[in-house]
Structure 1
Amino acid sequence: MIFKSLVEYYERLAAQGKVPAFGLTQEKIGYCILLDRHGKVQDIISLSDPSDKKSKWAMLTVPASFKRSGTAPPPFFLWDKTAFVLGVEHKKDSDVPTLNIRSHGVFKALHLERLADATDDGLVALRKFIEEWIPDQWQQCEAIVKHGPAIFGANIVFRLDGEQEYIHERAAAQELIKRYSATDDSPLGLCLVSGETRPIARLHPAIKGVWGAQSSGASIVSFNLDAFDSYGKDRGANAPVSVHAAFAYTTALNYLLLRDPHHRQCVQIGDASVVFWAEAKNQEEQEAAEDFFSCALEPPYNDPSAVAKLQSALDLVAEGRGINDLNALLDPASRIFVLGLSPNASRLSVRFWFTERLDVFTKRLADHYNDLSIKPAPWKTQPNQWRLLSSIAAHDKTENISPWLAGSLARSILSGQCYPRSLSSSIISRIRSDGQVTGMRVAICKAALSRNRRLEPKNNPTEVPVSFDPDNREPGYLFGRLFAMLESIQEVALGEVNSSIKDRYYASASAVPQRVFRLLLNGVVHHVSRGRKGPKRNLILSLDQKMREIVFLINGNFPRSLSVEQQSWFALGYYHQYQVRFNSSTKKDDAENSPDEDTENEQ
């Protein structure tokens, strides 16, 4: 199903001219050698973008690459790395370029064989260059020396001086590419993707761009050891996929995995590189569906207009209306495909795979953002999954994000199922570890509670509040509110202290309330007594009254321990209650903090 969908997507992209035809591929090319008609080097041109300091290459369509292994790997046709083209490379353990006569030898042998009968000016010039080039004399070529060590290790193409097209783009070169891309020597078999009898690929092309995988590429289908063979079948024959289908699905994946600001069909979630594409009635609706899904899955925070459109679409879904009310090109029936890939040594693991209508995915994403909704909101725009996961990770570092948790969270959002049970426990553990009850963390706790109650309403009748709810009677919520009131009273009575009750007791109060709250309630008596004698007497009395109202609702029922679910309620109640005080207007705060004249006269 995955390969079939990718092959169909490749056919649509090829018809639109976005991906290379069979036998070609897109590669990162760093330099172009400019030759005259006698094969002499006129210049070497860098293909990097001069306006971008980070640019080191350009994406060009060249003859297809393949996996290389062994002590004498085969070369690519009409292009390759400097180790093959020039016989010079720059190794990591060496400060100076070193010769690679063996690689250049196989490059030279291949091209002298294939270009022996060439009559095209460009191909003849290339053949003469290869015949005359001596690797150990590279330092005598000023065109190479001027680029310094940066050129060694880059991919190289060729161009004839005075012409615009590269040599591999010339008509004669294209004929050679087609001839040597033929699959007559591949065994025939039944392709599992197309169901047709076609030449079967022994090795599949490499998939590049998956974060954490080998830079040279990795494979979804690979049988590289004898132990993987069965019933006398060798390599790719164990899972027969035609040469054309293997080329198509890998080309489509490499296109989707491009990391480009203008190409947003790949999102990184934990260790999973998540790609998505659409199937619609026409190209315009396909692109509209992909752009919309990209914004919904990974909101573009640097584009306020796009965020506003996304919010409008989510509001429409919440109202039960169609997303085509926002954009006529958005067809709710368009089908979206989502594939998550994770590195696994030289292979790739399929972390998850989903396919649904656009309106179904939109509803699931809207539910996710609605579950996260909390007031006061700790963000200006809806948080993406990276921001959520970073709030769970130690020291807020992405490298500390659990790959399993990241994949499980993405799967829950895309499938509309309950969040992983470890999500809430991970948040609680982080809060207990560093004492930071941030809005982002509380929102995740609230989201897990909301989703469980929406999917299992019979077992969870209480609605999870978005904003402060004084009528909520969940035990954890009341304990969290009470703890926030105790902290506020201490803060008003004593001012800034080295260690507040939050710093010392939050973790234990949220886990074992019976052991902690009696101690805290005894201590708050002294805080109230001290505060009544200070300039903030009215504020202390108001806080004390509200605290007593919460204690009355609890009615002395302090359990020995709270479950993870109730600890999530505790965090939510604490956040809501503590934020209420700081959301009031400045004038109201000033009025509460100043003693009234009658009280001063009595004293």
Structure 2
Amino acid sequence: MLIKQLVAHARDRTDLPPPYYRNRSVRWAIDLDSAGRPRGDHLIDLSTPEAKAGQMLATPYVQRSGTGSLPFLLTDTLQYVLAAAKDDSDKQIADAQRRNADFIALIDRWAKDEPLAAPVVAFFHSGAHTKMVIPPGAAPTDVVAIRTDDGWVHALPSAVTIWGDIVRQRKSSSDEIGICLSCGQPGPLLDTIPEPVKSGAIPVPGGRGRDAQLVSINKSAQGRGGAIQLANTPICDTCGSRAMSALNALLADPHHHQRGNDNVMTWWLRRPAPISPLASVRDASPEQVNAIIEQVHLPPVRRAAWVDGNDFYAITLSANQSRVVIRDWIDIPLIQLCENIESWFADHAMTDLWVDGPQKVPLWRMTAALGRHGKQGYVKDSAPTGAARDLMAAALHRTALPANLLARLIQRIRADGHVDLARAALLRLLLIRANPALKETLVDGLNRDSTDAGYVSGRLFAVLEDIQRTALENINTTIADKYFGAAMGRPLAVLTMLRKNATGHLRRLRGTRRPAGIALDKRLDDVLQQLHQELPAVLDLAGQGRFVLGYHHQRAADRAAARQAAANKAAAVESA
């Protein structure tokens, strides 16, 4: 199904390179006149300050395998084109000369029925290529292309046709005819997929990685029934080349992929649409999110045309050496995806300390919230590996998140005592997706009616902290700085002690700031009335999560009330 949908996507695109061509950085050019003489007898440097690796061109490419030289047609490395050896040893010089001879033989095959090939043939058969001056900084692995008065010779239609034939001979079984798994048509089948996933397209920890095969079975123990290569995955050369060309194009498009530490997710739609599903989840852009949610709540007859009959596809990849590992595959109707995304934002929407109303949180902020928090904010790359992938998968599939993320988040909150919008939103999401019944209790703002012991304990801690702050001016260390982590796990012991201390603070407020003292005393009583049982002695991970949410909700509600009171006072003064 993956190959089939990639092939369908390739048919709808006009920007893909020809079959068995790849967009590569070409560093050097050989410019030939009509007689095959190089202009200037030296290589032309195609690099610029903006593109130091050279000019990006669609050139012949296929993964080299085995011990043979297997040159590319008309465009290859200096080792093939000009016999540039890796070093001065006799072995390397002989190897470069052999590769160059194979490269020229491939040109001769193309030139048989191509009149425009005359300058190229003359250049190589006259030996002019051996007299070319190679700049000192050039590496044998630099790519070089050939240009004549007719343009880049590798882009000529005859070159595209001959190169396709060459690749099919290299990669297909000449005696193997069968039904393609993708298109369902009979014809020659591939032994291996000619084009790999481009090196660097899949993040690899600690390095750039290398070309990786989407389907790679070269040991009998790996294949079904001992079969190797593509015996159990019959694919024709057309579908194989189109699928890989589309996949590499998607992986190179910043608008159609999301990279993690060790994986990449790429997506596409059956038909174009004015939304970017991954971007809407990743960045929580109001325009994108509102456009998606609007379609969910409209009756089917009023939905936009880009929704009806449209489908969403996404694949998550990682790499193991030179093999691609498929972590996830999504193939669902677009309207179902919109519903999943709407549920994602509904399940994590959270009130903030500084802004009124529930907020939608970008996925990248929730990922960062799983890491360490220091004086400068969240420490870069301190979130667990794969967290962004797990969050995105939960958003797109509408599933629960891995249980270890709750343990990780609680551990980080206990360690640094920091609770903000991102952490509170992620906590609500983790708890609700693990236990949907909690959605009635863990709303996006303060739930004054909840009697959950963990939630009310968190509210109580927030009120006690506010009492301390109000009673003691210019305080350097609050009870949250000292006891928040302990109170999360052992509310009974910690909150009992803090409540006794608050009695003295309230007594002081009645003498110095009586209205504030009365208001805080009433708020404390309101919270305590919700405790229909004794404070819990200990809380499990989920209970600690509800404690944190109660604490965050109470603080956010108190600050919202303070902002409203200040606004009312200012309005009264202005109207007086």
**TM-score higher than 0.5:** yes
Residue 525 of structure 1 aligns to a residue whose secondary structure is: helix
Q: Which residue of 1 aligns with 2:431?
A: 449
Q: Which residue of 2 aligns with 1:338?
A: 314
1:256 Cα deviation (Å)?
A: 1.1
Q: Which residue of 2 aligns with 1:3?
A: 3
Output the CA distance in 2 between the equivalents of 1:312 and 1:492.
Answer: 40
Instruction: List aligned pairs for 1:26-37, cutoff 5 A.
Output: 26-36=23-33, 37=35
Output the CA distance in 1 between the equivalents of 2:214 and 2:159.
Answer: 31
Query: Which one of 115, 120, 127 corresponds to residue 126 of structure 1?
Result: 120
Q: Which residue of 1 aligns with 2:331?
A: 355
Q: Residue type matched to 2:444 in 1? A: V
Query: Which one of 261, 277, 288 corresponds to residue 293 of structure 1?
Result: 277
- 1:29-58 deviation digits (Å, cap 9, x = unpaired): 3343323333425364454566xx366444
Q: 1:322 to 1:30 in 2, by over 3 A?
A: farther
1:428 Cα deviation (Å)?
A: 1.1
Q: Note the residue ranges of structure 2 that are not aligned, 5 or more in a row.
A: 570-576
Output the CA distance in 1 between the equivalents of 2:71 and 2:502.
Answer: 78
Q: Note if contact 2:293-2:338 (Cα within 8 Å) is conserved in structure 1.
A: no
Output the CA distance in 2 between the equivalents of 1:397 and 1:332.
Answer: 43
1:219 Cα deviation (Å)?
A: 1.6
User: What RMSD, in angstroms, separates the aligned Cα atoms of the two structures?
Assistant: 3.5
Q: 1:449 to 1:215 in 2, by over 3 A?
A: closer
Residue 115 of structure 1 aligns to a residue whose secondary structure is: helix
Moved more, 38-47 or 72-81: 38-47
Q: Note if contact 1:324-1:330 (Cα within 8 Å) is conserved in structure 2.
A: no
Output the CA distance in 2 between the equivalents of 1:520 and 1:76.
Answer: 76
Q: Note if contact 2:340-2:396 (Cα within 8 Å) is conserved in structure 1.
A: yes
Output the CA distance in 2 between the equivalents of 1:267 and 1:488.
Answer: 42
Output the CA distance in 2 between the equivalents of 1:82 and 1:378.
Answer: 61
1:89 Cα deviation (Å)?
A: 8.0
Q: Which residue of 2 aligns with 1:12?
A: 12
Residue 550 of structure 1 aligns to a residue whose secondary structure is: helix
Q: Note if contact 2:19-2:245 (Cα within 8 Å) is conserved in structure 1.
A: no
Q: Residue type matched to 2:277 in 1? A: F
Q: 1:408 to 1:180 in 2, by over 3 A?
A: same
Query: Which one of 73, 77, 80 corresponds to residue 81 of structure 1?
Result: 77
1:477 Cα deviation (Å)?
A: 1.7
1:269 Cα deviation (Å)?
A: 4.5
Q: Which residue of 1 aligns with 2:196?
A: 206
Q: 1:217 to 1:312 in 2, by over 3 A?
A: same
Query: Which one of 193, 204, 225 corresponds to residue 182 of structure 2?
Result: 193
Q: Which residue of 2 aligns with 1:170?
A: 156
Q: Which residue of 2 aligns with 1:275?
A: 266
Q: Note if contact 2:372-2:412 (Cα within 8 Å) is conserved in structure 1.
A: yes
Q: Residue type matched to 2:468 in 1? A: Q
Output the CA distance in 2 between the equivalents of 1:257 and 1:389.
Answer: 22
Residue 427 of structure 1 aligns to a residue whose secondary structure is: helix
Residue 192 of structure 1 aligns to a residue whose secondary structure is: coil
Residue 103 of structure 2 aligns to a residue whose secondary structure is: helix
Q: 1:547 to 1:154 in 2, by over 3 A?
A: farther
Output the CA distance in 1 between the equivalents of 2:211 and 2:187.
Answer: 25
Output the CA distance in 1 between the equivalents of 2:525 and 2:362.
Answer: 40
Query: Which one of 395, 409, 418 corresponds to residue 427 of structure 1?
Result: 409
Residue 186 of structure 1 aligns to a residue whose secondary structure is: strand
Q: Residue type matched to 2:552 in 1? A: Y
- 1:293-317 deviation digits (Å, cap 9, x = unpaired): 3443444x7xxxxx34324324414
Matched, 1:250 2:244: yes
Output the CA distance in 1 between the equivalents of 2:310 and 2:316.
Answer: 20
Q: Note if contact 1:35-1:158 (Cα within 8 Å) is conserved in structure 2.
A: yes
1:292 Cα deviation (Å)?
A: 3.8
Q: Which residue of 1 aligns with 2:572?
A: none
Q: Note the residue ranges of structure 1 that are not aligned, 5 or more in a row.
A: 280-285, 302-306, 593-603
Output the CA distance in 1 between the equivalents of 2:523 and 2:359.
Answer: 33
Q: 1:154 to 1:111 in 2, by over 3 A?
A: closer
Output the CA distance in 2 between the equivalents of 1:571 and 1:339.
Answer: 35
Q: Residue type matched to 1:296 in 2? A: S
Output the CA distance in 1 between the equivalents of 2:381 and 2:563.
Answer: 41
Query: Which one of 407, 410, 417 corresponds to residue 392 of structure 2?
Result: 410
Q: 1:112 to 1:462 in 2, by over 3 A?
A: closer
- 1:548-600 deviation digits (Å, cap 9, x = unpaired): 321232256111211222222211111121123333456946999xxxxxxxx
Q: 1:178 to 1:314 in 2, by over 3 A?
A: closer
Output the CA distance in 1 between the equivalents of 2:77 and 2:61.
Answer: 14
Instruction: List aligned pairs for 1:390-409, cutoff 5 A.
Output: 390-394=368-372, 396-397=378-379, 399-409=381-391
Output the CA distance in 2 between the equivalents of 1:129 and 1:34.
Answer: 10
TM-score under structure 2 length normalisation: 0.84
Query: Which one of 388, 400, 420 corresponds to residue 438 of structure 1?
Result: 420
Output the CA distance in 1 between the equivalents of 2:175 and 2:278.
Answer: 41
Q: Which residue of 1 aligns with 2:256?
A: 265
Q: 1:103 to 1:549 in 2, by over 3 A?
A: farther
Output the CA distance in 2 between the equivalents of 1:378 and 1:384.
Answer: 17
Output the CA distance in 2 between the equivalents of 1:102 and 1:518.
Answer: 85
Output the CA distance in 2 between the equivalents of 1:587 and 1:568.
Answer: 28
Q: Residue type matched to 1:551 in 2? A: L
Residue 352 of structure 1 aligns to a residue whose secondary structure is: strand
TM-score under structure 1 length normalisation: 0.80
Q: 1:491 to 1:393 in 2, by over 3 A?
A: same
Q: Note if contact 2:296-2:335 (Cα within 8 Å) is conserved in structure 1.
A: no
1:433 Cα deviation (Å)?
A: 1.6
Q: 1:115 to 1:406 in 2, by over 3 A?
A: closer
Residue 351 of structure 2 aligns to a residue whose secondary structure is: coil
Q: 1:397 to 1:323 in 2, by over 3 A?
A: farther
Q: 1:398 to 1:85 in 2, by over 3 A?
A: farther
Residue 431 of structure 2 aligns to a residue whose secondary structure is: helix
1:332 Cα deviation (Å)?
A: 2.8
**Matched-pair identity in %:** 22
Q: Note if contact 1:84-1:104 (Cα within 8 Å) is conserved in structure 2.
A: yes
Q: Which residue of 1 aligns with 2:573?
A: none
Moved more, 406-415 or 170-179: 170-179
Residue 26 of structure 1 aligns to a residue whose secondary structure is: strand
Count how many residue pairs are aligned between Structure 1 and Structure 2.
549
Q: Note if contact 2:85-2:96 (Cα within 8 Å) is conserved in structure 1.
A: no
Output the CA distance in 2 between the equivalents of 1:377 and 1:199.
Answer: 64
Residue 224 of structure 1 aligns to a residue whose secondary structure is: coil
Q: Residue type matched to 1:288 in 2? A: A
Output the CA distance in 2 between the equivalents of 1:218 and 1:537.
Answer: 72
Q: Residue type matched to 2:384 in 1? A: S
Q: Which residue of 2 aligns with 1:283?
A: none
Q: Residue type matched to 2:75 in 1? A: W
Output the CA distance in 1 between the equivalents of 2:156 and 2:394.
Answer: 50
1:255 Cα deviation (Å)?
A: 1.2
